[in-house]
Amino acid sequence: MRNWKTILILTVLAMLFATATYAQTRPNGFSVILLVGENQATPGGDGLPSAPGVRKALNDVKDFLPYRSYRVLDTQWLRNGSTRMKGLDDQEYEVEVESNDIVDLPPFQKKKEGWLNVEFKLQEPGAVQNSSEEFGRSAQVLNLERELQSAKARIAMPQSDEMKKVIAADIARLEKMVRLARARKLIDSKFDMAFGETVVVGTSKIGGDKGLVVLLTSVTSGAK
């Protein structure tokens, strides 16, 4: 009887220890780093965070990226959900992360414990969500651009200072509306990642020789 009690106590202690260990290492949220990559080297260093996982993630895909230097634009921490991040020239981006544990029980187990299914999205605010919106959005952009060109032509004509202020405000409003109407979905990706891992989620060209690069780290409760 004592042997059975001893075995039971040891089993319970082992389960408690395993549960505590898992709780310390399971994800507590995500760190999102938004970088701008450039073809020209940056004087005084590469501008990357010191975290070794960030450098390793970029080194793993360096042969597929055309950039020679990187600068951090913004960093955010979030659990499952969404947030906004700042890019170049105060351009805002919407970020959404959804994840769940990979649960494949034997005999169909393909992944070891400690992996996540992740869905990641990066888009400009107001981006179209489906193809049915694209045609209407294109027509809207054309109309707004015509109004914008007309307003710019008017402000170039002789006008009173008061009228120029009115037209300038109209130009600013139309430019904002054009940006919203042109908003794009930049990254929409599904992938697996390990607890505590840092991955390069994707890249997106933003003009010239520059591009956005997004890194995602699954931050565990026991991370230091």
Give per-residue pLDDT as tens, 61-113.
Answer: 888 888 888 889 999 999 889 999 999 888 899 999 998 876 655 555 555 66
Q: How far apart are CA 124 and CA 186, in angstroms?
A: 7
The residues, ordered by sequence, that sit 6+ positions from 56 with a Cβ below 8 Å of its Cβ are: 198
The span from the CA of 175 to the CA of 70, in Å, is 29
Q: Work out the number of other CB atoms within 10 angstroms of the CB of residue 111.
A: 14
Residue 32 has pLDDT above 90, yes or no: yes
pLDDT at 42: 63
State residue 50's pLDDT score.
67
The whole model's pTM is what?
0.68
* b/e per residue 73-109 (b: at least 16 CB within 10 A): bbeeeeeeeeeebebeeeeebbbebebeebeeeeeee
Q: What is the pLDDT of residue 18?
A: 42
Closest to 38 (Cα-Cα) out of 58, 61, 68, 65:
68
Please give the Cα distance from 22 to 117 (Å, whole number).
17
Output the pLDDT for position 208.
80
CB crowding 158-185: b at 16 or more within 10 Å, else e: eeeeeeeeebeebbeebeebbebbbbee
pLDDT in tens, 127-173: 776 666 666 777 777 888 898 899 999 989 998 999 999 999 988 98
- Percentage of residues in the chain having pLDDT higher than 70: 73
pLDDT tens profile 163-222: 999 999 988 988 877 777 777 889 999 999 888 899 999 999 887 889 999 999 998 865
